[in-house]
Amino acid sequence: MQFNTAFTSCDILLPDIKDMSKWSVVACDQFTGEPEYWDKTKEIVGGDVSTLNLILPEVYLEDDDVDGKIAEVNKNIDKYLADGVFKELKNAMVYVRRTQSDGKLREGIVGAVDLEKYDYRSGSKSQIRATEATVAERIPPRLKIRRNASVELPHIMILIDDPEKSVIEPLSTSDLEKLYDFELMQGGGRIEGYLLGEDEISRIDSALCELSKKCEMLYAMGDGNHSLATAKEHYEKLKRDNPGADLSNHPARYALCEIVNLHSPALEFEAIHRIVTDVDCDKLIADMTKVLGLSDSAESEQRIRVITPGAEKELYITRPLSKLAVGSLQAFLDKYLKENGGKIDYIHGDGVLRSLASKENSVGFILEPMKKSELFAAVISDGALPRKTFSMGHAQDKRYYLEAKKIV
């Protein structure tokens, strides 16, 4: 069928196995500061077929043998295809019901988006837009993984602003064929998937078309911003490398994702905290105080909690560099680390941040979450927000790899 917006059906791959509890693992960019999480995941999976063997957790991106790990991932993908691990659902969409670790239900639809209708650059007016600044340096290592891969397993979640709940929520009362229903490992909750028929897919497309008439921006990135940017760059490179070729129906033109309603009660925006390591803590705080005008008494709208080994303070930014506290902090840290050295990581959860910040030569920064009702208006008005401005829920509630799609 002809689709009216960037979201379409596609040929979806699912594992042809009975027990899927070891198949799904959490998004590769989670638990980057906790290698023990991924060690436990390896232990759980053992020698069984699993998406763990088809992705590269970002905790390993700086390993000396990263190229070997990437080659192994691509080898495993080809082996799974050759061994018939996958079954293919033609021209499909999947209705997903995810019970999060907090017991709340998050509904979504897995399908594909047309990368011709996506532009992650700041100021874009495309149908699909980035919600945070895309870090160019994060794309090449992901491209290296995708370049020789024949299958994608994305953790991309795209948001729609549908207060009337006209697109996704009506599916809860439909009589659909169940594809899977199982507990996700490592506290990820439970997930159910249902195959959508042609009538349901047509209704979804019509509802999205109507929604597009009411809003200036139809699709906003929720999770997986850099994954979708990598898919876009891979497709654009294909076009550059094949001048004159008709790639209008090439599978790499379409990226697998899940759309979710911003107004889902299960979606809660949380701040993403910062941990800086291998730095002179006193110098960093002194320079930051000078540049941002940090004060514990002169209140302002921008505030952060600064944690060093043995100390924690709430401080106000009186000389902001951005409209948001996260933007002021990030602008300072980017410049400081470039000039002085050190490493930065992005952490979900106050407890984890405090634990990491207790180590020598480390400084942690706890930020306040933005309101999710501000998201679409902010992106429409100001363009992409500072990177890692917000997170949707806890790490274990992120998308788990499950469905896949061929890209060659």
3-state secondary structure of 89: strand
Q: In terms of domains, do 128 and 277 share one?
A: no
Q: In terms of domains, do 103 and 219 share one?
A: yes
The CA-atom distances, in angstroms, between 257 and each of 171, 318, 402 are: 18, 40, 11
Q: In terms of domains, do 84 and 55 share one?
A: yes
Q: Does the pLDDT at position 392 exceed 90?
A: no
Q: Does the pLDDT at position 55 exceed 80?
A: yes
Asked if residue 388 belongs to a domain, the reply is no
Instruction: Find out whether 312 and 355 touch, Cβ atoms under 8 Å.
Output: no
The beta strand positions in 80-185, using DSSP E, are 86-92, 94-99, 105-114, 118-119, 128-129, 151-152, 157-160, 177-183
What's the whole-number mean pLDDT along residues 9-25? 96
Total number of domains constituting the chain: 2
Instruction: Find out whether 329 and 272 touch, Cβ atoms under 8 Å.
Output: no
Q: In terms of domains, do 132 and 170 share one?
A: yes
Asked if residue 379 belongs to a domain, the reply is no
Q: In terms of domains, do 17 and 133 share one?
A: yes
Residue 115 structural domain: 7-268+395-406
Q: How far apart are CA 241 and CA 255, in angstroms?
A: 19
Which stretch of DSSP H or E encloses residue 11?
strand 10-15
Q: In terms of domains, do 191 and 216 share one?
A: yes
Asked if residue 387 belongs to a domain, the reply is no
Q: In terms of domains, do 280 and 255 share one?
A: no
Asked if residue 140 belongs to a domain, the reply is yes
Asked if residue 207 belongs to a domain, the reply is yes
The CA-atom distances, in angstroms, between 398 and each of 191, 219, 274, 306 are: 12, 19, 19, 26
Q: In terms of domains, do 204 and 230 share one?
A: yes
What is the value of pTM for the model shown?
Answer: 0.84
Q: In terms of domains, do 253 and 293 share one?
A: no
Instruction: Find out whether 80 and 240 touch, Cβ atoms under 8 Å.
Output: no
Asked if residue 373 belongs to a domain, the reply is no
pLDDT in tens, 214-268: 989 999 999 898 899 999 999 999 999 999 999 999 999 999 999 999 999 999 8
pLDDT in tens, 179-226: 999 999 999 999 999 999 999 999 999 999 999 999 899 999 998 988
Residue 340: what pLDDT?
97
Q: In terms of domains, do 70 and 162 share one?
A: yes
Asked if residue 383 belongs to a domain, the reply is no
The two structure tokens encoding residue 380 = 């429409």
Asked if residue 103 belongs to a domain, the reply is yes
Q: In terms of domains, do 148 and 289 share one?
A: no
How many CB atoms are located within 10 Å of the residue 381 CB? 10
pLDDT in tens, 91-119: 999 999 999 999 999 999 999 999 999 99
Q: In terms of domains, do 236 and 281 share one?
A: no
